Amino acid sequence: MKILLLLSSTFTFLHTISSSSSNTTFICKTDHDCRLNGLCSLTTSTCICDPGWTSPTCGALDLLPATLGTGYNKTSFNASSWGSKIIHDPSNSLLFHLFLAGFTHQCGLDYWSPYSRIVHATSLEGPAGPYEFHSEVVGTFAHNPTVIWSPADEKWLLYYIGCPQSVNATCTSPSFSCGPGNFINGESGISVLSSEDLYSWTPHGQVMSGMNDGAWDADITNPSPHPLGRKGEMLLVYRGCPFNCSGNELISLSTAPSFLGPYTKLSSPIFPESNEDPFVWQDKRGNWHMLLHSLEPDGGFGSGPMVGRHAFAEKLEGEWTFDAETLAFSAVVEFQGGEVREFYRRERPQLFFSEDAEMKPLFLMTGVQEVGSEMSYSLIQPIEGAREWEQALGI
Ligand X SMILES: *[C@@H]1O[C@H](CO)[C@@H](O)[C@H](O)[C@H]1NC(C)=O
For ligand X, the binding residues (CB under 6 A) are 20, 23, 25-27, 68-69, 73, 75-78, 166-168, 172, 174-175, 183-184, 243-244, 246, 377, 379
Three-state secondary structure of 13-70: HHHHHHHHHCCCCCCCCCHHHHCCCEEECCCCCCEEECCCEECCCCCEECECCECCCC
CA 91-94-97 angle, 5° bins: 75
- Are 293 and 348 spatial neighbours (Cβ–Cβ below 8 Å)? yes
Residue 349 Cα distances to 6, 188, 340, angstroms: 24, 20, 19
Nearer to ligand X, 69 or 205 (CB): 69
Nearer to ligand X, 61 or 253 (CB): 61
Identify the bridge partners of residue 368 per DSSP, sorted by sequence position: 346, 377
Nearer to ligand X, 57 or 191 (CB): 57
Q: How far is the CB of 184 from ligand X (least distance, A)?
A: 5
Q: Which of 247, 333, 252, 343 is nearest to 295 (CA)?
A: 247
Q: How far is the CB of 144 from ligand X (least distance, A)?
A: 20
Nearer to ligand X, 282 or 373 (CB): 373
Q: How far is the CB of 70 from ligand X (least distance, A)?
A: 7
Q: How far is the CB of 26 from ligand X (least distance, A)?
A: 4
Q: How far is the CB of 297 from ligand X (least distance, A)?
A: 18
CA atoms of 350 and 389, how far apart (whole Å): 18
Nearer to ligand X, 25 or 43 (CB): 25
The total number of residues written for the chain in this structure: 395
Diameter of the chain by CA atoms?
65
Nearer to ligand X, 184 or 371 (CB): 184
Nearer to ligand X, 266 or 371 (CB): 371
Nearer to ligand X, 59 or 299 (CB): 59
CA 253 to chain centre: 16
Torsion over CA: 259, 261, 267, 269 (sign): positive
The H or E element spanning position 4 is helix 2-21
One-letter amino acid for residue 62 of the chain: D
Nearer to ligand X, 72 or 201 (CB): 72
**Burial class of 395 by CB neighbour count within 10 A (0 to 12, 13 to 18, 19+):** middle
**Burial class of 205 by CB neighbour count within 10 A (0 to 12, 13 to 18, 19+):** exposed
Q: How far is the CB of 168 from ligand X (least distance, A)?
A: 4
CA atoms within a 13 Å half-sphere pointing along the CA-CB vector of 63: 24
Q: How far is the CB of 254 from ligand X (least distance, A)?
A: 23
Residue 328 DSSP code? S
Nearer to ligand X, 113 or 252 (CB): 113
Q: How far is the CB of 114 from ligand X (least distance, A)?
A: 7
3-state class of 5 per DSSP? helix
Q: How far is the CB of 314 from ligand X (least distance, A)?
A: 21
